[in-house]
Amino acid sequence: MTDRASNAGNNAMSKPAWHHMNASPATRQATSRQRRRALWTCIGIVSGTLLLLPLAAVMGPRVPAFLPSYQTATVVAYVIITYLIFAHYRATRALDLLFVGGACFYCAGIFLLQFLALPDMFLPHGSLLGGEQTAIWLWFLWHAGLALGILAYAASNWRNPALMYRHSQRLARWLMAAVAAALLASMALVTVFHAYLPRLDDNGDFRRLASSGAGPLLQCMTGLAFLVLWQATRFRAVLHVWLGVALVALLCDNAITMAGGSQFSVGWYVGRCNALASATLLLLIYLREMNQVYLKTVQDARLLALNNAMLEVRMDQVRLDDLTGLPSRSLFLELAETLRSRDLASRQAVALLFIDLDGFKRVNDDLGHDRGDTVLVEVAAALRSVLRDSDIAGRVGGDEFVVCLAAPAAAVKATATAVAGRIVSRVAAIGDGIGCSIGIALCQAENLEWDAALRQADAAMYQAKRQGKSRFTVYGHALLDEMA
C-alpha cells in the first residue's frame, strides 16, 4: 500500500506544475460552447471556400493596396502571437508551447522576407530581395513551417509529455537554436540559391504549384498535422481547438490558391483571406486570454482586499474582550500608542488610569458569577459614559480596567482626576457594595514608555486601596480625592 502511494506521488510529481494551471489556454478544458463556436468557424471557412472554388480562376479587380495591407497585417499578427506565446512559456515553462511559438516566429520572419521579395513592392521593376521565384517559395516555406510546428506540438503531447521535462532547459535552447537555424537556412535558400529553385511562378501564374507536387505536399503536411493534433489531444484544451481551426483555414488557403492559379484571381484573394484568418485566430485567442487574466486579476485583487478587510475586522474582534466589548491589553496599547503619536506635534501630555474593582470577589462568591459578569458589563458601560470620544478604555484582567487620555500638559492632571472622580462615582452607583480604586500615571507624550506608565499607575492604584479604597491617587502624589 505504501509503495503504491509512493508511486502515485512520484507520477504526480513527474508532471509539470503547469498542467494544473486552469488559467492556461493550453491546459484549460474547452467548453462545449467554445467547440461549437470553433466548429461553426470551420464550417464558415470551408463553405465559403467551396462556394467560391468554381470561380477561383476568375480574375478579380487589381487592388494595389491589398497585398501590402495583407502582408503587414499578417506580419504584425505573427509577431504579436510569438511575443504572447513566449511570454506564456516564461510564465508556465510549458515546453510544448515552444513548438507553436517557434513556428509563429519562423512565419513572422518568412513573411517579412516575402514582403521584401515581392516584385514591384518597393522598386518599380524588381524586388529588394532574391529573384523571381523567391516570393512563391517563401509562401511555400511559411505554410510548411506553421504546419510542421503544429505537428511537432501535437507529437509532443501524444506519448508521454513528462519525458520532455527531464532536460527542459537544454531542450528549450535546442528548440530555439533549431528555429533560428531554419530561418537562416530559408533566407539563404531563397536569396543566395534562388536561381536554383524549381520554377513555380511564371510572372504571376503559379499553376505549377499543383502540377509540380509542391502544393499537394503542403496539403499532406497540413492534413497530417491536423490528424496528429486530433489524435494526440482530441481537441480537449482551448488552444487545441483553435489550432485545429487554424489548420483548416490553411488547408482551404492552399486549395483555393492552387485552384486560382494566378495573382489577383478570386482564388488568390480568398486564399490570402484564409491565411490571414489562420493567423488572426491564434492572435485572438491569446488576446482573449490576456483579457481574461486581467479580469481575473482585478477580481482577485478586489476579493483579496475584501478578505483583508474582513480579516482585520475579525482580528480586532478577537482582540476585544468577549464580555465587555472593550479592547484587550494588546489592542488597548496599540490604540493608546496611536493616540500618543497623534498628540506628539501638539505637545500633549498623556494620563494612564489603572482601575481595580473593590468588593468584586464578594459579589462573585455571594451572588454568583452571572452577577459578577453583569457587574463587569456595567463597569464597562460606566467607563464609556464618562469618557470623551478621544479617550480609550480597555480591560486588562479579571476586574482590572485601564483608561488612556490626552490633554495639554498644564491641564492633564486636572483632566485625569476629574475623569477618575466620575468613574469612582459611576461604579459606586452600580450597587452590591461595588467600588473601584484608581491609580493615575502622568507622562509627557514624547518620552512615554507604556510598561513604566502601567507600573506607576498600578502602584498608585494600590496606594489608593491602602488609603481605604473607592478613591484615586496620582503616582508620586498624596491622596487627591476620596469618594464615599
> Where a domain ends, among 301, 321, 353?
301
Angstrom CA distances, 175 to 96, 107, 141, 237, stand at 10, 15, 18, 23
Q: Tell me, yes or no, whether 209 and 280 share the same domain.
A: yes
* Residue 12 confidence (pLDDT): 37
Report residue 393: phi and psi, to 5°: -120, 150
Q: Tell whether 348 and 465 lie within a shared domain.
A: yes
- 319 lies in some domain: no
- From 265, 285, 301, the end of a domain falls on 301
The residue-averaged pLDDT of 124-151 equals: 89
Same domain as 333, residue 289: no
- Give the span between the Cα atoms of 113 and 138, in whole angstroms: 8
pLDDT in tens, 67-100: 889 989 999 999 999 888 888 888 777 788 889 9
Mark whether 274 and 339 lie in a shared domain: no
Whose CA is closest to 81, among 284, 226, 348?
A: 284
> Per the domain annotation, does 99 fall within a domain?
yes
Expressed as residue numbers, the domain containing 229 is: 13-301
Q: Which three cell numbers stand for residue 317?
A: 474582534
Q: Among 281, 301, 321, which residue terminates a domain?
A: 301
Count: domains in the chain? 2
pLDDT in tens, 275-321: 999 888 888 887 877 777 677 778 778 778 777 766 665 555 557 87
Contacts with 9 (C-beta within 8 Å, 6 or more apart), sequence order: none
For residues 334 and 412, state if they share a domain: yes
Assign residue 375 the CATH number of its domain: 3.30.70.270
Whether residue 254 is found in the same domain as residue 199 = yes
Per-residue confidence band for 344, with pLDDT thresholds at 50, 70 and 90: low
Q: Which residue has the cell 476586574?
A: 399
**244 phi-psi bin (left φ>0, alpha ψ -120 to 50, beta other):** alpha
Q: What is the number of helices (H) and of strands (E) in the chain?
A: 15, 6
Tell me the average pLDDT across 262-267: 92
Q: Is residue 455 part of a domain?
A: yes
Best CA proximity match to 438, nearest among 417, 452, 453, 455: 417
- Do residues 359 and 466 share a domain? yes
- Asked, for residue 1, whether it belongs to a domain, the answer is no
The whole-model pTM stands at 0.61
Residues 45 and 117 in one domain: yes
CATH number, domain at 225? 1.20.1070
381 with 245, same domain? no
Query: Is pLDDT of 11 > 60?
Result: no
103 and 251, same domain (yes or no): yes
Q: Is the residue at 314 inside a domain? A: no
Query: Edge to edge, what strands does the sheet with 400-408 contain?
Result: 392-395, 400-408, 348-358, 435-444, 471-474, 479-482
The verdict on 50 and 173 lying in the same domain is yes
DSSP per position, 142-187: HHHHHHHHHHHHHHHTTS-GGGGGGGHHHHHHHHHHHHHHHHHHHH
Question: In this predicted model, what pLDDT tens digit does every residue of 408-439 receive, in sequence order?
Answer: 888 889 999 999 999 999 998 888 888 899 99
Residue 5 has pLDDT above 60, yes or no: no
Residue 151: pLDDT band (50, 70, 90) is: very high
Residues 373 and 289 in one domain: no
| Residue 312 belongs to a domain | no
Q: Please report whether residue 316 resides in a domain.
A: no
401, β-bridge pairs: 355, 395
In this predicted structure, the answer to whether residue 18 has a pLDDT above a threshold of 80 is no
Q: Is residue 441 assigned to a domain?
A: yes
